[in-house]
Amino acid sequence: MKYLKKVGTFVASGAIAGALVLVPTYLAIMLLLKVAGSLRAFVRPLASLLPTWLPAEHILSILLVLFICFLIGMAVRTPVGDSMRDWLEKSVLEKIPGYSVLRSLTRQLADNSDEKAWKPALVELEDALVPAFVIEELEDGQFTVFVPSVPTPLAGAIYILGAERVHRVNVHFTHAVRIVSRWGAGAGELVTAMKAGTRQEHPRVTHEER
């Protein structure tokens, strides 16, 4: 009975993790196709100039949508656009369940150095070091950490731990996710990175310095 419960939990966590990736991707593709379909009338005159065997309306409408996305992406990089994006996120998007998590993951995957959440770490749980991600630092100095389950990095448990039990590692986010998804293969690199960080924080005193 206990074995069946573990199997059920494993299957459920895997399904949830897959849904968190699949559903936003599916919705984004459907929205892209929907908008592209509504723009077909605008590109029809240009499409008529191309060979009839080419699905020009579909191709040009999708390219137009991608171009609009590019313009919006460039606009939000300006001070005014950045302010509008922040207002939209705080007023609307952050109220959507799961949006903040997906935004943080997207920024991490894009190697956004300004993103402070989801930093790889090794945390002390009982007598073991466990791969985890630092979500935030609390006002009292403790850390909120997410410990992923294997092999589904997007499912796991949340812990609040003291700073002495949280060891950040200088490893890229995607590499840490890959280690978890591979059942811990390569976890030795996390330990090596942790020890290297400890040596930097507490450098050895040479005889000359004494």
* Arithmetic mean of pLDDT over the chain: 76
- For residue 133, the domain's CATH number is 2.30.30.140
Would you say residue 206 lies in a domain? Answer: no
Closest among 20, 163, 210, 2 to 105, alpha carbons compared: 20
Token pair 């996305």: residue: 69
Q: How long, in residues, is the chain?
A: 210
- The pLDDT value recorded for residue 116 is 58
Q: Are residues 105 and 146 in the same domain?
A: no
Q: Are residues 34 and 93 in the same domain?
A: yes
Decide which of 109, 130, 164 is a domain's last residue: 109
Number of CB atoms found within 10 A of residue 166's CB: 20
* Distance, CA of 148 to CA of 131 (rounded, Å): 8
- The pLDDT value recorded for residue 207 is 42
Would you say residue 207 lies in a domain? Answer: no
Q: Are residues 77 and 142 in the same domain?
A: no
Would you say residue 184 lies in a domain? Answer: yes
Number of CB atoms found within 10 A of residue 62's CB: 19
Decide which of 109, 130, 147 is a domain's last residue: 109
Q: Residue 185: which residues within 8 A CB-CB, separation 6 or more?
A: 179
Number of CB atoms found within 10 A of residue 93's CB: 13
* Distance, CA of 168 to CA of 187 (rounded, Å): 14
> How many domains is the chain partitioned into structurally?
2
Mean pLDDT in residue range 91-114: 60
167 sits in which H/E element: strand 166-168
Taking only the tens place, the pLDDT of each residue in 47-102 is: 888 887 888 888 888 888 888 888 887 887 788 777 877 777 677 666 665 566 66
Mean pLDDT in residue range 131-139: 88
pLDDT at 135 over 60: yes
* Distance, CA of 45 to CA of 156 (rounded, Å): 53
Find out whether 102 and 89 touch, Cβ atoms under 8 Å.
no
Would you say residue 129 lies in a domain? Answer: yes
pLDDT at 156 over 50: yes
- The pLDDT value recorded for residue 210 is 42
Better-scored residue on pLDDT, 104 or 87: 87
pLDDT at 200 over 60: no
Q: Are residues 155 and 85 in the same domain?
A: no
pTM over 0.85: no
Pick from 27-31, 51-55, 205-209: least confident: 205-209
Percent of the chain with pLDDT over 70: 69
Token pair listed for 162: 């003291």
Q: What is the Cβ-side half-sphere exposure of residue 101, based on CA atoms within 13 angstroms?
A: 12
Decide which of 109, 127, 162 is a domain's last residue: 109
Structural domain boundaries, residue 70 = 2-109
Would you say residue 100 lies in a domain? Answer: yes
CA distances from 134 to 73, 173, 198 (A): 28, 11, 17
